Amino acid sequence: MKITQVAVSHLNVALAHPTRTPIGVIDAARNVVIRIDTDSGISGWGEASPFAPITSDSQDSNYIAAQQIAALLIGHDPREIEARMTQIHRFTLGEPSVKSAFDMALYDIAAKSCDLPLYQFLGGNKRAMRTDLTIGMQETVEQTVALAQDILDAGFDAIKMKVGRADLQDVPHVRAVRELAGPEVAIKIDSNQGWDYPTAVASLLAMQPLNLQYSEQPLAAWDYEGLARLRDKVSLPICADESVFNHHDALKLIKLDAVDYLNIKLGKAGGIHTGLKINAIAEAAKVKCMIGCFGESRLGLSAAAHLAMARPNITFLDLDSAYHFTDDPVVGGITYDNDIGGLLHLPDAPGLGAEIAPESLKNTQLVGG
Ligand SMILES: [Mg+2]
């Protein structure tokens, strides 16, 4: 099987509720979609959702890089994922988002060529998986509580709160959500690097009675030693997100005893190929993984969900980016249960089981063909 053509397109979708974090506001998905065509008639789909404050790449840079990577891959076998990802990683150190788009398209083709859904191709089996739903940083506690009420009304059993305010200003927001939700609902907080060390210690100690599930990226991405010191100081589990892009980062964090959990995102790791390596290192150290997202449509979310379903060590899901899309450009793919909040359903179609409706794709460039 050989790659004959790659289509590179823009995919833009507005969000009904922008998410405010300490490092920027996500108000729309400005993504890049690729479709890899082969001489066998099988095509694979992938999606990049760059978020420059974390991934250093953008829709513009991904769009150009995708066309350059596509030119490298024409004529090669897409099922040789190891060799194709080596080509892609050697081409550029950066552009992790668009690397993940190619990676998921390669896995899509490989699984389709075996006539298996991707999670089964990866050796997994179906299990019930529920995502949380995220509340961005709000101005007032009343606004935070109103959004939490919506999530509880929709039947979710886990809420993720963006925090990272100065001093102890996060505490009343988190306390109010715990009081509203009662003891059973899981609440996790994500600071997106927003705290310095003293604020992190003070905030987490003040939140100790609130029975939180974990604290995600409380400190700056580079501050591995700080994470380790913080983990010694507080009883709440510490989860690294911006600190861990790949398996090398995972190994360093684990050697430093800096983390309880690792947040795998395909857009940081450059796809499933490296995501599997992160999870393997974590599993060896008895560290659980979560899988998160940027602003992917249900296409990119499907890839993440297939990986999660294939590896039970991936325990926590934060796959909610498409939940507030104003349009749904995806045909097939994961869906959210109508009755059980956050429960994901993955299709049993071969590969990802998802593609983008042609009318949603703009500025398509064809490479090869
Ligand atoms: Mg995070």
The residue with tokens 């191709």 is 121
Task: Give 367 Cα–ligand 1 centroid separation in angstroms.
Answer: 34
- Using a cut of 0.85, tell me whether the model's pTM lies above it: yes
Tokens of 336: 């959210």
In the chain, the domains with their CATH numbers are: 3-115+358-368 (3.30.390.10), 120-345 (3.20.20.120)
Dihedral of CA 231/290/190/98: which sign?
positive
- Known catalytic residue at 2: no
Nearest to 128 by CA among 341, 369, 320: 341
Task: Give 38 Cα–ligand 1 centroid separation in angstroms.
Answer: 36
Calpha distance 132→151 (Å, rounded) = 9
What are the two backbone dihedrals, phi and then psi, of residue 319, each rounded to the nearest 5 degrees?
-115, 65
- The confidence score (pLDDT) of residue 31 equals 98
- Known catalytic residue at 190: yes
- The confidence score (pLDDT) of residue 225 equals 98
Calpha distance 159→205 (Å, rounded) = 20
β-bridge mates for residue 26, sequence order: 19
**One-letter amino acid identity for 81?**
I
- The confidence score (pLDDT) of residue 176 equals 98
Tokens of 114: 């075996």
- The confidence score (pLDDT) of residue 22 equals 79
What is the block-wise mean pLDDT of the chain (369 residues), using blocks of 10 residues?
A: 98 87 82 98 98 96 98 98 98 98 98 98 95 95 97 96 96 98 97 97 97 98 98 97 98 98 98 98 98 97 98 97 92 94 96 98 95
Task: Give 241 Cα–ligand 1 centroid separation in angstroms.
Answer: 5
Task: Give 89 Cα–ligand 1 centroid separation in angstroms.
Answer: 24
